[in-house]
Amino acid sequence: MAANGEEQQTQAGRHQEVGHKSLLQSDALYQYILETSVYPREPESMKELREVTAKHPWNIMTTSADEGQFLNMLLKLINAKNTMEIGVYTGYSLLATALAIPDDGKILAMDINKENYELGLPIIEKAGVAHKIDFREGPALPVLDLLVEDKKNYGSFDFIFVDADKDNYINYHKRLIDLVKVGGLIGYDNTLWNGSVVAPPDAPLRKYVRYYRDFVLELNKALAADPRIEICMLPVGDGITLCRRIK
């Protein structure tokens, strides 16, 4: 009985951010951050989109509310105007970006699933920022290859956010480094990958976590060795690595 009681207590103490496991040791501390800093200042449209997404069966794919707040402030700090997002899902991070950039700002947004994007689109439209978004359905690599072919696109993006197929992160980086401007930022999401990056080889991991872990480890090693960027890995959400292009 004691074990069951402890389990129930643990479940009751878990943070309420649907679909996300905080990397903080204390769930109560993460809940404190959400309730004290994030939720009171969250725009109504982002709250509405977060609640709609929480009902989706794949809600684990969404950007957490604290990361959305972080991205929104970061974009304002760097005065981003021309941005890109690879991996949109229902559009929570996309909305955070659209609300942060100026009225004539642009976001090139790519995802293989338009249906998920259309779940959040009415909320984005109601927020008055849909005109900033150029959504492309399909894989991102062909779009990036076209952009890279034209040297006019080199250095044209202020900020790029990647939250998509981890096995292609390095392929994205090879192209994005030319497209982001010197002084601009690329943000790679999930670089701590459920904390699995430090799990022993025989750790009991969910199949998809185990499958992508090696790709995340490979990316982290490659970013740390890339002389064209400065990096900062942050334990926000599932881990986000910011890369500032320096040459």
Residue 19 predicted with pLDDT over 60: no
Residue 242 predicted with pLDDT over 90: yes
Contact 53, 120 (CB under 8 A): yes
| Segment among 42-51, 106-115, 173-182 with least mean pLDDT | 42-51
- pLDDT given at position 90: 85
Contact 62, 117 (CB under 8 A): no
Please tell me the pTM assigned to this model.
0.88
How far is 136 from 139, CA to CA, in rounded Å? 9
- pLDDT given at position 57: 61
The pLDDT confidence band at residue 79, using thresholds 50, 70 and 90, is: very high
How far is 110 from 171, CA to CA, in rounded Å? 15
Residue-wise pLDDT tens digits, 40-51: 999 899 888 888
Residue 56 predicted with pLDDT over 80: no
Average pLDDT score, the chain: 88
Residue 131 predicted with pLDDT over 70: yes
Share of the chain above pLDDT 90, in %: 63
Domains, in order of start, for the chain = 27-188 (3.40.50.150)
Is residue 50 packed enough to be buried (19+ CB in 10 Å), middle (13-18) or exposed (0-12)?
Answer: buried
- pLDDT given at position 179: 98
- pLDDT given at position 58: 67
Residue-wise pLDDT tens digits, 194-227: 888 988 888 888 888 888 899 999 999 999 999 9
Residue 91 predicted with pLDDT over 90: no
Q: Which residue has the higher pLDDT, 93 or 10?
A: 93
Nearest one of 194, 200, 196, 190 to 233, comparing CA atoms: 190
